[in-house]
Structure 1
Amino acid sequence: MRRPAIALCLALCAAVIFSLHAGLTFYTPHTVLSALLGGEGADALIVTTLRLPRTAIGVVCGASLGLSGLLMQSVTRNPLAEPGLLGVNAGGALFVTFGVTVFGVASLAGIGMAAVMGALAATALVFSISASTGGAGNPATTLLAGFTVAALLASFTQTLLLIDESALETLLFWLSGSFSDRPIGLLQLGLPSLAIGVAGSLLLATPLDVLRLDDASARSVGVNVGAVRLTALGLAALLAAGAVAMAGPVLFLGLVAPHLARRLTDGVLPSTRQLIVLSLLTGALIAVLADILARIVVAPGEAPMSAVLALVGVPMLVHLLHGRKGLAA
């Protein structure tokens, strides 16, 4: 794992540096360094208040979604699982829409807090439905509950938007899923969830390795399958909630990053601990690169983040579906 991890670290550092230079105007290294060291002027202001925050948020958001996707795919044994399946995006969107339309929330900090509460509330609702049907810890039941809750919450969101169209402009800015024009203070919402998610994932690494076999084998060696699954899904939801709070719904990243991480491993069956590290780095790298592309491909405008990620995510999703069809045959 050492070689891929080092390569990803170097690539991420290069992407972060390039992100500070790239945009409508490409700055020289001297301009960027001067801005970071406290320089003054319009260029320094753009670097420190626009490009630096969006790059930092991209790193944290990408790492969070990469790890969240890995946890979901591991505990459900479903390569198509991603954070949105727990209703995280739908819950965050509903609470943000409710906050803007009913309480007049306008600040990004307020929107971010509403997103966190909505994402966690939606996940709690998914777990409650799963448990009430006798399927607590069952991945199929949990995913089905997630689909149901996400569809229900999305319909509520659309209803609120129809009632108060004046809030549509504010909501579209957040619902589009982007790192642009975000204050660096939003990291206060994402960094704690990332730290908790990483620590919790590392503690669960060994039980998750055992869960790759089957539930009976895991129980035979003393693993509490239901508890491990619920804890891992809870961590996945927390990670995704922090990301949604900072950037809004970012699609495909939680699906793509873990699969690319697996392809970078040395062994045929990499350990969960290895995949945690590689998924964090891969997710962060993809997020920063996608943000750079969004800035430069349609300059002087900016492409939607989800559209850029879809260029990678959709082909990979088709490939995975094709592979599952082949296995079924």
Structure 2
Amino acid sequence: MPRYLPHVILIAVIALLAIISLHVGIRFTPSAEVWRALSQGGDDQAALIVNTLRVPRTAVALIVGGALGLAGLLLQTATRNPLAEPGLLGINAGAGFAVVLLVVFTGTGSLSLIALAACLGALLCALLVFSLAFSAGGISSPSYLLLAGVTIAALLSSGIQIVIVADERTMEELIFWLSGGFADRDVELLYLAAPVVVLVVVACRFLAPTLDALMTDDATAGALGVPVLKVRMTVLVLAAILAGVSVSVAGPVAFIGLAAPHLARLSGFPEHRQLVPLSLLAGSALALAADIAARFIIYPSEAPVGVLLAVVGVPMLLYLLQRKRLGAAA
């Protein structure tokens, strides 16, 4: 397979999905009206729908989907576990819990503080989950890692419910945000999230040879000169930052981080120099596809994006668990 053919295919798919996203919804907007809205603006209905609704949600899906796809790849690399993903491991729940505490108890509307709280919550939760899994049986064990992640996620989700029920003033706003999705989100947060995602991508490109070595066992990676613990912690921090900024923008969105890296590996390229951009692109494509499908599943109403992603993610999770079990038995 040509080296950059998968990248070109994914970019073409993303471009097509973005174009579709700008055209479809409760009301189909013809291409001429979409182009006029993008190039000339205006305050008519078509221009308002395209510029204030569809363009922002398309941008959110692109950036958040890419960030979660890359976060999933980093977590799977750091743990050597194909089931590692920010939603399943409770990292998204940690970010959400931190934001809820900040908003409820301080009443702040500062976007930078919200993004910072989400990143710190994601990081602390990641450290807690991996510490629990390591103490129980090692972070590469899918059963221990998933059990720790699901337990922490359930605990934090319960905490979120208690906090928001106790504060009716912010309940409605937070419940909408916690549902996870790409529509009606604060686009200004993208100005904070997008540079962070770019910086992490650049860092991953420099770390690519080290990430390849980390996929071997610790002894081999150490013999190759890789400071295993330091690199693993760095990768976990980068993944938590990506998950945190994603949650701050779109709320908790699961399964993209699980599916995107596995789609990227279908290219046949094992090196992270290829997998990093492919996981990023695959995550964006998945997010856009789910967002478009959500507009029609229960038309004219709109289904939660998380439901559509679960349709893909849950069967994949079951398949990976079964494959891991059969591999261990062999």
Same fold (TM over 0.5): yes
The CA distance in 2 between the partners of 1:128 and 1:176, in whole Å, is 24
Question: Letter of the aligned partner of 1:181 in structure 2?
Answer: D
Tell me the TM-score normalized by structure 2.
Answer: 0.89
Q: Name the structure 2 match of 1:117.
A: 117
Q: Name the structure 1 match of 2:69.
A: 66
Q: Classify 1:38/1:68 alpha carbon distance in 2 versus 1 (closer, same or farther; 3 Å).
A: same
Q: Name the structure 2 match of 1:282.
A: 282
Counterpart pick for 1:211 among 204, 208, 214: 214
The CA distance in 2 between the partners of 1:261 and 1:129, in whole Å, is 26
Q: For residues 196-221 of structure 1, what are the alpha-carbon distances to aligned partners after superposition, in whole Å with 9 as ceiling and x for unaligned?
A: 21011111110111122211011111
State whether structure 2 residue 84 is matched by structure 1 residue 81: yes
Q: For residues 63-113 of structure 1, what are the alpha-carbon distances to aligned partners after superposition, in whole Å with 9 as ceiling and x for unaligned?
A: 0000000000011010000013554322222233223433345x5x64x74
The CA distance in 2 between the partners of 1:195 and 1:309, in whole Å, is 24
Q: Name the structure 2 match of 1:237.
A: 240
Moved more, 151-160 or 70-79: 151-160
The CA distance in 1 between the partners of 2:293 and 2:134, in whole Å, is 46
Q: Classify 1:221/1:276 alpha carbon distance in 2 versus 1 (closer, same or farther; 3 Å).
A: same
Q: Name the structure 2 match of 1:25.
A: 27
Q: Name the structure 2 match of 1:14.
A: 16
Question: Letter of the aligned partner of 1:219 in structure 2?
Answer: G
Q: For residues 38-60 of structure 1, what are the alpha-carbon distances to aligned partners after superposition, in whole Å with 9 as ceiling and x for unaligned?
A: 23211101101110000011000
The CA distance in 2 between the partners of 1:182 and 1:279, in whole Å, is 24
The CA distance in 1 between the partners of 2:29 and 2:61, in whole Å, is 20
Measure how far apart 1:274 and its partner are.
0.8
Question: Letter of the aligned partner of 2:62 in structure 1?
Answer: V
* 1:287-302 to 2 correspondences below 5 Å: 287-302=287-302
Question: Letter of the aligned partner of 2:322 in structure 1?
Answer: H
CA contact (8 A) 2:118 2:248 kept: no
Partner SS, residue 296 of structure 1:
coil
Q: Name the structure 2 match of 1:254.
A: 257
Question: Letter of the aligned partner of 1:285 in structure 2?
Answer: A
Measure how far apart 1:134 and its partner are.
9.0
State whether structure 2 residue 311 is matched by structure 1 residue 311: yes
- Quick one: percent identity of the two aligned structures? 45
Moved more, 216-225 or 296-305: 296-305
Question: Letter of the aligned partner of 2:100 in structure 1?
Answer: T
Moved more, 64-73 or 207-216: 207-216
Q: Classify 1:196/1:148 alpha carbon distance in 2 versus 1 (closer, same or farther; 3 Å).
A: farther
Q: Name the structure 1 match of 2:36.
A: 34
Q: Classify 1:132/1:35 alpha carbon distance in 2 versus 1 (closer, same or farther; 3 Å).
A: closer
The CA distance in 1 between the partners of 2:11 and 2:34, in whole Å, is 21
Partner SS, residue 87 of structure 2:
helix
Moved more, 150-159 or 43-52: 150-159
Measure how far apart 1:130 and its partner are.
6.0
Partner SS, residue 254 of structure 2:
coil
Question: Letter of the aligned partner of 2:64 in structure 1?
Answer: C
Moved more, 82-91 or 33-42: 82-91
The CA distance in 2 between the partners of 1:243 and 1:302, in whole Å, is 21
Question: Letter of the aligned partner of 1:61 in structure 2?
Answer: V
Q: For residues 272-299 of structure 1, what are the alpha-carbon distances to aligned partners after superposition, in whole Å with 9 as ceiling and x for unaligned?
A: 1111111011000010111011112222
State whether structure 2 residue 231 is matched by structure 1 residue 228: yes
Runs of 5+ consecutive residues of structure 1 not aligned to the other structure: none
Moved more, 56-65 or 92-101: 92-101
Q: For residues 110-150 of structure 1, what are the alpha-carbon distances to aligned partners after superposition, in whole Å with 9 as ceiling and x for unaligned?
A: 4x742541342341364378679997xx7359957655644
Q: For residues 171-194 of structure 1, what are the alpha-carbon distances to aligned partners after superposition, in whole Å with 9 as ceiling and x for unaligned?
A: 111011011112432211310220
Runs of 5+ consecutive residues of structure 2 not aligned to the other structure: none
Aligned-residue CA RMSD (Å): 2.5
Q: Classify 1:311/1:130 alpha carbon distance in 2 versus 1 (closer, same or farther; 3 Å).
A: closer
Q: Name the structure 2 match of 1:328.
A: 328
The CA distance in 2 between the partners of 1:126 and 1:202, in whole Å, is 23
CA contact (8 A) 1:88 1:119 kept: no
The CA distance in 2 between the partners of 1:202 and 1:54, in whole Å, is 28
